[in-house]
Amino acid sequence: MKKQRRRMSLSRRRSVTGFVFITPWLIGFLWFYGKGAIQAVLFSLSTMTMKQSGGYQLDFAGLDNFKYVFLQHATFNQTLVSSLMNMLIDVPLIIFFSLFMALILNSKFKGRAVIRAILFLPIIMSSGAIRDSIAMAQQTIMGGVAAVSSEAAASESGVNVQYLMNMLMNLGFPATLSEYLIAAVGRIFDIVQASGIQIIIFLAALQSVPGNLYEVAQIEGATPYETFWKVTFPMVSPHIVTNVVYTIVDKFMNSDIIDVAYDMAFSSYNWSVSVAMSLISSFAVCIILFVITKAISKFVFYYN
Amino acid sequence: MKATIKERLGQIDREHLRRRLGRGVTGFLLGLLKAVILIGISYIILGPLISMLSSSFFTPADLKNPVVVLFPIEGTLGNYTQVIHTMQYPKTLLSTVIYVSALTFIQVIMCSMAGYGFARFNFPFKKLLFACVVLTIVLPADTLMLPWYMEFRDFDVLGILHLIRGSGVNLLTSPIPIYIMTTLCCGLRSGLFVYIFNQFFRGLPKEIEEAALMDGAGAFRTYFGIMLVNAMPAVLTVSIFSLVWQYNDTFYAQLFGVPTNLLMSRRIATVQETIGNSLNILDTAVTQLYLYAAVILMLVPVVIMYCVMQRRFVEGVERSGLVG
């Protein structure tokens, strides 16, 4: 009896300690996200008019904004569906590619540090200030004759896709699979650009696998293939979840749907519709994340 | 009898030799495949960068010369000196480095604590709260821009300042809002970092921490002394991401109006315009050369930092390999 009470108090103490650890996050969440999200929901449920003095006025409008987004806006539904589809198509490619690259980079070879540094570059190049300034510079210069010539060059140097398709079909590949693979080859540039973060996460995961597990596997006489599936893969599996989550969110943040909402706010000056759009698309992404992480987590190995 | 044993031994020897030879060939082929893949991918990444690097040494005459492809005929370092002058490179870099490293330090400590709390403790509503972490990753910051802006224009903690002075403080046009948000795990992609730390801590064996608790170490000592050291790959990974993203960030800096002369990311957004206006160059193709020089100058510090940290990466891992 006495023993049980003590254990209760210990687990109670553990839970209090845990709460202390997350307190800063909780305060920040309630303060910035909680409050902000309530305000955002309020915005989306009302029409907002800017006042001359610099403030704004809200008039309650019910679900009008949502009705407008779904029923009247010209491109929202289509863009949402196509953005989500693109996202789902790219995720497995990026995950496989980055795991593969991380495995290669984790093995020993000459010039490893250089290659790692090179694979790190897209992370800087494809985010924030550098990407924006380059994109802006190229926007002003592209167009007119330059655009035509570069387009012509691109079409000429491209791979003969039709020929490859026919070849794969003759080999007995299912048509959808070969289309998917060829589309993937065509987007290899985007995939490499979008995999920088995932490669580094996998690399860190691979390096935190305790070395003695490999020793045991070797002593037991496991082949490299078995070692991969019995040791490496389970140990890395939690980070597959991380990378899936990151990839989905990253694709979502760079998708057209965000631009549609952004234009609504800053070109059409219709803030409340824009917020409604963001809420709808975020909700859709949350559902996708929930379903996918639930599905994957069956195969994930955790110590506890 | 003897002969058969000898024969058998010879057979085994030959088989062994053949297998080793086979392994050598496959090994060579695999190595070749690896090299081809790595070189190809490096080319995909480096291609645009190489043309940018070579363009940054072009003079306007080189740019217009159709013979010039990668190597400039005249060539100049003038683009670089001009950009260094306009961006006040050393000064801006120094203030950026201080700002970014402070933010990274805060972010790593706070996010790792939250991640640890979620990974290793049980408390009521844990699943719901962790779903909230995922929500902060997903929700586009654009949506919350306006509420955040309003919050810091009239900053107040639980109405205390309103009681004392009658009004809040306007914290805009300073980096203070960013520091506050980062400390409370709401900074740039903090949600993602909490998630990454959570996954890493869940992957560490429980015995490490139990041993420390047995020895009578408190929760915070266990955390800083043992868990954080064992999660070194995670700490380094998150530090690298945090450094790069903060260094490159324009969203928060613009939203809160951080002064342009403080940050590289703000400088680079305006450098092309500024040089075009001050030197009276109308051709955007020419001012673009300056932008390329600026991009290279902005890349160099980060790449050096990554190379240094990456070496630590391996060391840290070898150290943490002792446990587990």
Residue of B135, B143, B254 for testing the chain A interface, max A β-carbons within 10 Å: B143
CA atoms within 13 A on the CB side of A239: 32
In chain B, count of helices (H) and strands (E)? 16, 0
The model's confidence at residue A146, banded by pLDDT at 50, 70 and 90, is very low
Which residue of chain A is at minimal alpha-carbon distance from B286? A141
**Of the given ranges (A25-34, A75-84, B199-208), which has the lowest mean pLDDT?**
B199-208
In this prediction, residue A7 carries a pLDDT of 53
Percent of the residues in chain B that have a pLDDT greater than 70, as a whole number: 95
Which residues in chain A have Cβ-Cβ distances shorter than 8 Å to B110?
Answer: 24-25
In this prediction, residue B190 carries a pLDDT of 92
| Interface list for A 214-243 with B (CB within 8 A) | 235, 238-239, 241-242
In this prediction, residue A130 carries a pLDDT of 84
pLDDT at A1 over 60: no
The model's confidence at residue A304, banded by pLDDT at 50, 70 and 90, is low
Helix (H) / strand (E) containing A123: helix A112-125
Which residues in chain A have Cβ-Cβ distances shorter than 8 Å to B294?
Answer: 133
In this prediction, residue B324 carries a pLDDT of 34
The answer to whether residue A125 neighbours chain B at the CB level (below 8 Å) is yes
**Of the given ranges (A170-179, A218-227, A278-287, B90-99), which has the lowest mean pLDDT?**
A170-179
The answer to whether residue A71 neighbours chain B at the CB level (below 8 Å) is no
The answer to whether residue A286 neighbours chain B at the CB level (below 8 Å) is yes
The strand pair at A46-50 and A56-60 is best described as antiparallel
Residue A118 has its nearest CB partner, among B42, B186, B287, at: B42
In this prediction, residue B101 carries a pLDDT of 93
In this prediction, residue A160 carries a pLDDT of 60
Which residues in chain B have Cβ-Cβ distances shorter than 8 Å to A58?
Answer: none
Are A32 and B148 spatial neighbours (Cβ–Cβ below 8 Å)? yes
Residue of B123, B126, B220 for testing the chain A interface, max A β-carbons within 10 Å: B123
- Given an 8 Å threshold on Cβ–Cβ distance, is A32 in contact with B317? no
Token pair, residue B257, equals 């109006």
Residue B237 has its nearest CB partner, among A14, A22, A200, at: A200
CA dihedral A272, A277, A279, A280 (to 10 degrees): 140
- Given an 8 Å threshold on Cβ–Cβ distance, is B138 in contact with A17? no
Distance from CA of B157 to the nearest CA of A (A): 10
Which residues in chain B have Cβ-Cβ distances shorter than 8 Å to A40?
Answer: 143-144, 147
pLDDT tens readout for residues B97-131: 999 999 999 999 999 999 999 998 888 888 899 99
- 3-state secondary structure string across B179-237: HHHHHCCCCCCHHHHHHHHHHHHHHCCCHHHHHHHHCCCCHHHHHHHHHHHHCHHHHHH
pLDDT at B7 over 60: yes
Q: Is A40 exposed, middle or buried (0-12, 13-18, 19+ CB in 10 A)?
A: buried
The answer to whether residue A186 neighbours chain B at the CB level (below 8 Å) is no
Which residue of chain B is at minimal alpha-carbon distance from A250? B138
Which residues in chain A have Cβ-Cβ distances shorter than 8 Å to B133?
Answer: 25, 29
In this prediction, residue B64 carries a pLDDT of 81
What is the distance, to the nearest Å, from the Cα of residue B232 to the centroid of all Cα atoms in its chain?
A: 15
Residue of A23, A133, A157, A252 for testing the chain B interface, max B β-carbons within 10 Å: A133
* pTM for the model: 0.84
pLDDT tens readout for residues B134-177: 888 888 887 888 888 888 888 877 777 777 777 777 888 888 88
Q: Is A23 exposed, middle or buried (0-12, 13-18, 19+ CB in 10 A)?
A: middle
For residue B4, what are the CA distances in angstroms to A125, B1, B10, B12, B252? 68, 5, 10, 12, 81
CATH architecture of B80-320: Orthogonal Bundle (1.10)
Residue of A35, A130, A145, A231 for testing the chain B interface, max B β-carbons within 10 Å: A130
Distance from CA of B183 to the nearest CA of A (A): 7
Which residues in chain B have Cβ-Cβ distances shorter than 8 Å to A39?
Answer: 146-147
Q: What angle do CA A88, A90, A92 make, to 5 degrees?
A: 85
Token pair, residue B314, equals 């391996």
pLDDT tens readout for residues B174-191: 888 899 999 998 888 899
Which residues have a Cβ under 8 Å from the Cβ of B311 and sit 6 or more positions away? A113
**Of the given ranges (A44-58, A208-222, A232-246, B264-278), which has the lowest mean pLDDT?**
A44-58
Q: What are the extents of the domains in chain B? A: 2-44, 80-320
User: Which domains are assigned to chain A?
Assistant: 75-299 (1.10.3720.10)
Distance from CA of A19 to the nearest CA of B (A): 7
In this prediction, residue A243 carries a pLDDT of 92
pLDDT at A151 over 60: no
The answer to whether residue A267 neighbours chain B at the CB level (below 8 Å) is no
Which residue of chain B is at minimal alpha-carbon distance from A118? B42
Return the higher-pLDDT residue of B35 and A177.
B35
The answer to whether residue A192 neighbours chain B at the CB level (below 8 Å) is yes
The answer to whether residue A149 neighbours chain B at the CB level (below 8 Å) is no
In this prediction, residue B197 carries a pLDDT of 92
pLDDT at B70 over 60: yes
In this prediction, residue A155 carries a pLDDT of 45
Which residues in chain A have Cβ-Cβ distances shorter than 8 Å to B234?
Answer: 204, 208
pLDDT tens readout for residues A229-266: 888 888 888 889 889 989 998 888 888 888 888 888 77
pLDDT at A85 over 80: yes
Which residues in chain B have Cβ-Cβ distances shorter than 8 Å to A134?
Answer: 291, 295
pLDDT at B24 over 90: no
